[in-house]
Amino acid sequence: MRRLPVYLVIDISESMVGENIRQMQEGMNRLVNQLRRDPYALEAVYLSVIGFAGVAGTLAPLTELMNFYPPRLPIGSGTSIGTALNHVMDCMDKDIILSTAEQKGDWKPLVYVMSDGSSTDDTGKAIQRWKATFKQRAKLINIGIGKFADLSTLNEIADLTYRLDDADIERVYQALCETIASSISSQSRSLGLETPVSLNKELLENNAISLAKNSEELTALDENYAIVMGLCRKVKLPYLMKWERFGEVIFGDAEYHYVGAYALEKDYEDWSDNRPNNQTIKSSQLIGGGGCPHCGAPFAFAMCDCGQVFCIDGLGEAVCPKCQQDCFFGFDPEGDDFEINRARG
Ligand SMILES: [Zn+2]
Ligand SMILES: [Zn+2]
């Protein structure tokens, strides 16, 4: 049986934290269940999941649909699309069975790249490599999740580019799963014939999806979030605090309103870009705050001189979980403004 290899290349950067990653996780389950009901897909499809943030890695190696189990999606810092593209090409070099005189090799692999932001690394070399060796051998589907996804990076090598940006996040992920499932199904039916990857008409008409055609539709809107990484003082695990931009900036600095804090697992660092990050935001731009999602301490937004943000129970002394120095937090009627390192998103 000739295989149809499918690679899901998923953005697991900080901006995906919370509802997005939960919906993506659920969407993956739905996608697998839907494909398993299709006898053509069941016979040919092999799935692999690759995650990328600051680094890229395989979360699930190429496995036949019947035995595929959707992996847990971690979160990291950064959106390295170039690294992700190189990783999937390395996987294909290793995985794909080529046709020889004795055997028929795999069908053209389908590579779905899903991102909600813009690349934070250099993509030039990876794109050159794709053009030189993979353009004829694989199909790339470039999917933007939300208005802030920059589709222009991969558009020149993509066989299909589209954006999902319904206001209703649940519908976005439903549409994502349906578009991917229907294109895999139709490709597994048309095996052997050179058919272009296409979007199901019905799905296009329910307007959660737009095909990006001109450069205006490809570029992203300005980032709307401020994300800060903190470390729980008690359990020593990371968390992310998220603020959303409020209104249009007419003069001065943008103002961000608090959305929430999300607990992260230990592997956050493994998936993060560890180059120094110089992007900062002023504390006066961040309105509101909340408690620590790990230990429940009421203030998740205390900052040490070393730059580390961590949780505290209240005013007084606390030891920084990063540099171990004693910090004192008192009430400051002036509301001192300080600069905080922003996560890459
Ligand atoms: Zn805590
Ligand atoms: Zn410190």
Which residues of the chain are under the pLDDT cut of 50? none
Ligand showing the shortest atom-to-Cα distance for residue 327: 2
Show the domains of the chain with their CATH numbers. 4-218 (3.40.50.410), 225-341 (no CATH)
User: Taking CA 60 as the corner, what is the angle to CA 58 and CA 64, rounded to the nearest 5 degrees?
Assistant: 135
CA–CA separation, 340 vs 297, rounded Å?
20
**What pLDDT shows up at residue 344?**
63
Q: How many CB atoms lie within 10 A of CB 184?
A: 26
**What pLDDT shows up at residue 219?**
65
**What pLDDT shows up at residue 297?**
95
**What pLDDT shows up at residue 103?**
86
Q: How far is the CA of 300 from the centre of ligand 1 (A)?
A: 7
Q: Which residues make Cβ contacts (< 8 Å) with residue 42, sequence separation at least 6?
A: 35, 36, 65, 66
Ligand showing the shortest atom-to-Cα distance for residue 320: 2
Torsions phi, psi for 271 (to 5 deg): -95, 0
Ligand showing the shortest atom-to-Cα distance for residue 233: 1
* Tens-digit pLDDT profile for residues 43-80: 999 999 999 999 999 999 999 999 999 999 999 988 99
**Rounded (10°) angle between helices 169-189 and 19-36:** 30
Q: Are 145 and 116 contacting, i.e. CB atoms less than 8 angstroms apart?
A: yes
DSSP of 252-306: S--EEEEEEEEE--GGGGGGS--S----EEEGGGEE-----TTT--SEEEEE-TT
The separation between CA 21 and the C-alpha centre of its own chain, rounded to angstroms, equals 8
**What pLDDT shows up at residue 138?**
95
**What pLDDT shows up at residue 208?**
63
**What pLDDT shows up at residue 203?**
65
Q: How far is the CA of 232 from the centre of ligand 2 (A)?
A: 12
Q: How far is the CA of 62 from the centre of ligand 1 (A)?
A: 38
Q: How far is the CA of 310 from the centre of ligand 2 (A)?
A: 9
Q: How far is the CA of 326 from the centre of ligand 2 (A)?
A: 8
Q: How far is the CA of 234 from the centre of ligand 1 (A)?
A: 5
* Tens-digit pLDDT profile for residues 292-307: 999 999 999 999 989 8
User: Taking CA 249 as the corner, what is the angle to CA 247 and CA 253, rounded to the nearest 5 degrees?
Assistant: 115
**What pLDDT shows up at residue 188?**
85
